[in-house]
Structure 1
Amino acid sequence: MDREEYIQILTDQIRCAKARAMVGDEIRMHIDDQAFAFREQGMGEEQALKAAVREMGDPVAAGMSMDRIHRPEIPWGMIALMAVIGLVSAAIHTLFGLGDPELGISYVKMQIGCTLAGFLAMICVCIVDYSFLAAHGTGTAAGFIGSLLLMWSFLGQNINGATRWVHIGGLNIGLETFIYLFVPLYGAVLYRYRKEQVKGVIMSLLWIAVAAIPAYLMDSFSTRALLVFILLILFSIAVVRGWFGIRRPKRFLAVLWMCLIFSGPAYILFQCVTGRTNLLHSRRVRMLLGLDPKGINYARYAVLDVLKDSQLIRTGNGDLSKFIGRVPSYNEDYVPAFLAVSFGYAAAAALAVLLGLMVYGIFRIAFRQKNELGMMISCGCGMNFTALILICLFENMGLLPHMSFDLPFISAGGTNMIVSYIMAGIVLSVYRYKSVLPGELAGKAVTDRQACIRKA
């Protein structure tokens, strides 16, 4: 039995077709290494290769052993954690619906329905093999941005001077939240431009500018700033890991981040010197400095006021009297504050710990990946969740002004639920195929059988 016949019999025992090419390459490399060792002992080339094949043992038994290892794995632990988070979210919004007459039971049904729909979307995304992004990452990213721009242009609804919503089939969809789905797609874009050095760096940075266009059109400075920040961190990870072959990556990143950090103050100074902006009259500056407590910063001071009566632990019944009419959008932006007031700081801390466990699980999946694309996509999802959770928690503690960021999986709204669970599904897909896909994926899609034949 020659080498290729042995490999063919072995890989035929593997039920997951996607794993066959990777396993075939590993076995071929192992046989070649063993044959080299035999040649070093004085054997001829053909004799050494046959001896190496014989030493591998029964191909059927070896293939069955490989089949037990290289198969899609179901991440039951993370799925259970996401189910618990969904149940907690549904319970919180049930309290909101029953405690606020303006919301009512219809609100509870809607939130539970959105949670179930999001969980189902997560399972569907988990089943999909994310590796198609290796060949179609830039096309998928371009299609996503193009779709957002088309919906904004033709279906967008102008509310309070900003177009951030579209109305489709009786459903209101928040485009501002959907923008964050670009984060994992940007991981695929970075993977596409790896090893292209200067061109890769330029194209990767240009894609960040392209991603900021929808947020700019929606007049959402906070969303635009956060999105660009997350994408730049992903880009920095790619640079540090040597994807672009930069000779001194740390020095390059230091210069890049220093330029970005000082560009903001320089722009503000330019606006003030030229008389285009009165710094103290700027809406955003007054908001960040905590000025105007009865105007732009009303929500911030209202939350601080209701938190004065909070205790570490208290037995509550979900009373909303301190929030209704006082704290705007409490069911979207101030859920942790509600828990702290009604059930004590321990309840809010428990919610933070639950979300923290989810983030830890995501980064654990990411950094245990041997596949670079999966690692970058998972990191993107993890950083997106981390940033949103921290901002929302600081906002609920009164450390940040009201910026209307949704707390993933928790804040009211179907869009937040669907987008959060889709991102979780992407991470679960990365975990599911961690033992199936090789460390580096091909730049174009080929079948596993074709890959085996070409290697032969």
Structure 2
Amino acid sequence: METYLEKLLSQIRCKKARPYIAEEIRDHIECQIADNLSEGMTSEEAEKNAVTDMGDPVEVGISLDRIHKPKIAWKLLVIVGILSLLGILIQQSILRQPGYQELETWRQEVYRYTTEGFVSAVAIGFLLMCVIYFLDYTVIAKYSRFIGGAILILGGLRVAGFGGLDVDGIGNWIGFGRLRVAVTSLMMFYVPIYGAILYKYRDGGVSALCRAILWLILPVFITSRIPSLGVAVIMMVSMLIELTVAVWKGWFQLPVKKTIIGMWLLFTAGPVLVLTAMYALHMLEAYQEARIRSYLSHSGDANYMMAMLHKFNENILLWGNSGKDVVGGLPEFNQDYIFSYILNSYGLLAGIFVAAILAALVVFLFGASVRQKNELGMVMGFGCGMIILLNISLNFAGMLGWIPLTSTFLPFLSFGRNNILLCYALVGIILSIYRYKDVYPKKFKASQVSLKKTITLNLNMK
């Protein structure tokens, strides 16, 4: 049997697939040996006949090699390439807008700097995406609790006032000197890591679920204290979706429907009650209370920004420049409000094209996750997809005035070095998941991320 396996596995080029294929073939041969023994064969005859029934090891190995070879998500790479090119062109176009020459000199320098920074961020992001792709998502999952713990520690240190820089009362940056990272981007990267942490608690009961919920609550609390309530909501919803999928897939030995209903009640009604209490007891930051009052009274800065966006979104041409001074009149038009800039600079058709490309990105991200055989990859993929989807959705909704404005971005299009790197990192994880979709089995053992469990062979073994 071992000689047969050795010849068969020598045909498999993907080394990561060999342990799983070997175990499945060995299990199949052993089952056949047991059947042969029950029919009265000797041990030697039973093993010889079982191996013979498997077929020629070279032919079987070649067939398995075709099935279990790594895949490349070319469609996703094309979509990301288009968005990357669009982002560079859109940011570069700012320097050629009529309103740009009328800005103060210092503002012109700022936009020139951000434009150059966007190109460098795209280049670095592409390299980061490749590193994560070749690293293999199971390696990230193996050290998920260590990575997640490190992110929580950095976020906690920033909330405590260490190693960071406050901008307008918001402690969004952590680091020293020029080595700084946006805490909100770092915390959003925690979401797919959370999916891997969940996997380590599979087959557990109430205790395991409570620990999984604790891993969810801590980053949301830290992010809300940065403070960034918008990102905290994005994280909470994204991780709650991951946890729901995990429960639905039977990762926890608990009643599925009751557990899911209880979780959603806890994380929907609970935060509303807590936020209301904090507002009533004046436990929020001063600017947060002012923003809530502004929303409730339809006045103040928040209402002013919504009114301004409505003004810029009116009378958009089907194609071409609307003639409105977006560059001089709309703050952060190259970041939070980049879609309004696109509509006013190039027209409605350009906006529809951009929205269609972003929609294709989201569809592929979730499609790759849903069709993923391995459950670890599926949940991590859902986490990546949720971060992209919620940022796009909330950005569009805020820009159109449907919801109060919050801190979001359009993936690959909005300026923001750390958010750009985040997008490429998330895509890198999805590419890695897709690469091994026909390599890894459905389940891994809890003790190790890459393990030997069952793998279904899509060929006739006899």
Larger CA deviation: 165-174 vs 377-386: 165-174
- C-alpha contact (below 8 Å) 2:306/2:401 kept by paired residues: yes
- C-alpha contact (below 8 Å) 1:125/1:422 kept by paired residues: yes
Larger CA deviation: 81-90 vs 334-343: 334-343
Structure-2 residue corresponding to 1:355: 358
Larger CA deviation: 397-406 vs 178-187: 397-406
Residue 161 (str. 1) matches residue 164 (str. 2): no
C-alpha RMSD of the superposition: 2.7
Relative to structure 1, the CA distance from residue 115 to residue 404 in structure 2 (aligned partners, 3 Å threshold; closer, same or farther) is same
Which of 161, 165, 181 is the equivalent residue of 1:173?
A: 181
Residue 125 (str. 1) matches residue 123 (str. 2): no
Residue 283 (str. 1) matches residue 283 (str. 2): no
Residue 329 (str. 1) matches residue 329 (str. 2): no
Q: Secondary structure at the match of 1:18?
A: coil
Deviations 1:104-147 (A, max 9, x none): 54433221121121122111111111112443221221123223
- C-alpha contact (below 8 Å) 1:135/1:442 kept by paired residues: no
Deviation at 1:45, TM superposition (A): 5.2
Deviation at 1:446, TM superposition (A): 9.2
What does residue range 26-425 of structure 1 map to in structure 2 within 5 Å? 26-35=24-33, 38=36, 43=41, 46-99=44-97, 100-101=100-101, 102=108, 103=110, 105-150=112-157, 153-166=161-174, 168-170=176-178, 173-246=181-254, 248-267=255-274, 270=277, 282-289=289-296, 291-292=298-299, 294-311=300-317, 313-316=318-321, 321-425=324-428
Relative to structure 1, the CA distance from residue 423 to residue 290 in structure 2 (aligned partners, 3 Å threshold; closer, same or farther) is farther
What does residue range 430-441 of structure 1 map to in structure 2 within 5 Å? 430-441=433-444
Q: Secondary structure at the match of 2:313?
A: helix
Structure-2 residue corresponding to 1:453: none
- C-alpha contact (below 8 Å) 1:179/1:215 kept by paired residues: yes
- C-alpha contact (below 8 Å) 2:203/2:253 kept by paired residues: yes
Larger CA deviation: 215-224 vs 267-276: 267-276
Q: Secondary structure at the match of 1:165?
A: strand
Deviation at 1:236, TM superposition (A): 1.2
Q: Report the Cα distance in structure 2 between the residues aligned to 1:423 and 1:122, rounded to whole angstroms.
A: 8
Q: Secondary structure at the match of 1:196?
A: coil
Relative to structure 1, the CA distance from residue 407 to residue 154 in structure 2 (aligned partners, 3 Å threshold; closer, same or farther) is same
Deviation at 1:268, TM superposition (A): 5.6
- Number of equivalent positions: 439
Q: Report the Cα distance in structure 2 between the residues aligned to 1:146 and 1:271, rounded to whole angstroms.
A: 25
Which of 7, 10, 13 is the equivalent residue of 1:15?
A: 13
Relative to structure 1, the CA distance from residue 242 to residue 361 in structure 2 (aligned partners, 3 Å threshold; closer, same or farther) is same
Larger CA deviation: 196-205 vs 36-45: 36-45
Relative to structure 1, the CA distance from residue 427 to residue 222 in structure 2 (aligned partners, 3 Å threshold; closer, same or farther) is same
User: Partner letter of residue 205 of structure 1?
Assistant: I
Deviation at 1:346, TM superposition (A): 2.3
User: Partner letter of residue 95 of structure 2?
Assistant: G
Q: Report the Cα distance in structure 2 between the residues aligned to 1:249 and 1:360, rounded to whole angstroms.
A: 27
User: Partner letter of residue 67 of structure 2?
Assistant: I
Q: Report the Cα distance in structure 2 between the residues aligned to 1:338 and 1:155, rounded to whole angstroms.
A: 35
Q: Report the Cα distance in structure 2 between the residues aligned to 1:104 and 1:356, rounded to whole angstroms.
A: 28
Q: Report the Cα distance in structure 2 between the residues aligned to 1:77 and 1:382, rounded to whole angstroms.
A: 16
Q: Report the Cα distance in structure 1 between the residues aligned to 2:275 and 2:417, rounded to whole angstroms.
A: 37
User: TM-score, with normalisation over the residues of structure 1?
Assistant: 0.88
Q: Secondary structure at the match of 1:219?
A: coil
Deviation at 1:39, TM superposition (A): 5.5
User: Partner letter of residue 158 of structure 1?
Assistant: D
User: Partner letter of residue 231 of structure 1?
Assistant: M
Deviation at 1:93, TM superposition (A): 0.5
Seq. identity, %: 29
Q: Report the Cα distance in structure 2 between the residues aligned to 1:122 and 1:88, rounded to whole angstroms.
A: 18
Q: Report the Cα distance in structure 2 between the residues aligned to 1:134 and 1:446, rounded to whole angstroms.
A: 7
User: Partner letter of residue 127 of structure 1?
Assistant: F
- C-alpha contact (below 8 Å) 1:11/1:63 kept by paired residues: yes
Q: Report the Cα distance in structure 2 between the residues aligned to 1:256 and 1:105, rounded to whole angstroms.
A: 47
Q: Secondary structure at the match of 1:355?
A: helix
User: Partner letter of residue 340 of structure 2?
Assistant: A
Deviation at 1:221, TM superposition (A): 1.7
- C-alpha contact (below 8 Å) 1:135/1:443 kept by paired residues: no
Q: Secondary structure at the match of 2:314?
A: helix
Structure-1 residue corresponding to 2:460: none
Structure-2 residue corresponding to 1:452: none
Q: Report the Cα distance in structure 1 between the residues aligned to 2:445 and 2:6, rounded to whole angstroms.
A: 21
Deviation at 1:162, TM superposition (A): 1.8
User: TM-score, with normalisation over the residues of structure 2?
Assistant: 0.87
Q: Report the Cα distance in structure 1 between the residues aligned to 2:281 and 2:293, rounded to whole angstroms.
A: 20
Q: Identify unmatched segments of 5+ residues in structure 1.
A: 450-456
